Amino acid sequence: MYYDTTENKTKIYSSAAWSDLGGGWDGVLPNYTTAQRNDLSLADGLIVYNTTDDAVQIYRSGSWANVGAKAADGSICISDSACDSTHCVDGFCCDFECLGTVCQTCGALSSAGIGKCGYVNNSSQDPRNTCATATPPAADSCKSPTCSGTAYTCGYLSGEGSQPTCKRCAGGSYDPVNIANASQDTEGTNLCTAAHYRCDGSGLCTSPQTVTCVQCNPDGVTRCTCSTMCTQRGYTGCSHNCWPGCGTCWVGCTLGEACRCWNWTY
pLDDT tens string 23-53:
544 456 778 898 988 888 888 778 888 888 8
Domain boundary among 66, 89, 118: 66
Query: Is 217 domain-assigned?
Result: yes
Arithmetic mean of pLDDT, 90-103 = 93
Cβ atoms of 8 and 21 within 8 Å: the answer is: no
Phi then psi dihedrals of residue 237, to 5 deg: -145, 155
Given a cut of 90, whether residue 126 has pLDDT beyond it is: yes
Alpha-carbon gap, residue 159 to 168, rounded angstroms: 5
Q: Is the backbone of residue 22 left (phi > 0), alpha (psi -120 to 50) or beta?
A: left
Query: Is 33 domain-assigned?
Result: yes
Strand-pair category, 31-32 with 47-50: parallel
Query: Is 56 domain-assigned?
Result: yes
Structurally, how many domains does the chain consist of?
A: 2
Query: Is 29 domain-assigned?
Result: yes
Domain boundary among 40, 66, 92: 66
Domain boundary among 45, 66, 87: 66
Name residue 62's amino acid: G
Alpha-carbon gap, residue 172 to 159, rounded angstroms: 11
Query: Is 243 domain-assigned?
Result: yes
What domain range is 257 assigned to?
209-264
Name residue 52's amino acid: T
Arithmetic mean of pLDDT, 63-80 = 84
Predicted pLDDT at 112: 96
What are the residue ranges of helices labelled H in the chain? 34-38, 226-232
Paired residues of 215 in beta bridges: 258
Query: Is 229 domain-assigned?
Result: yes
Cβ atoms of 208 and 266 within 8 Å: the answer is: yes
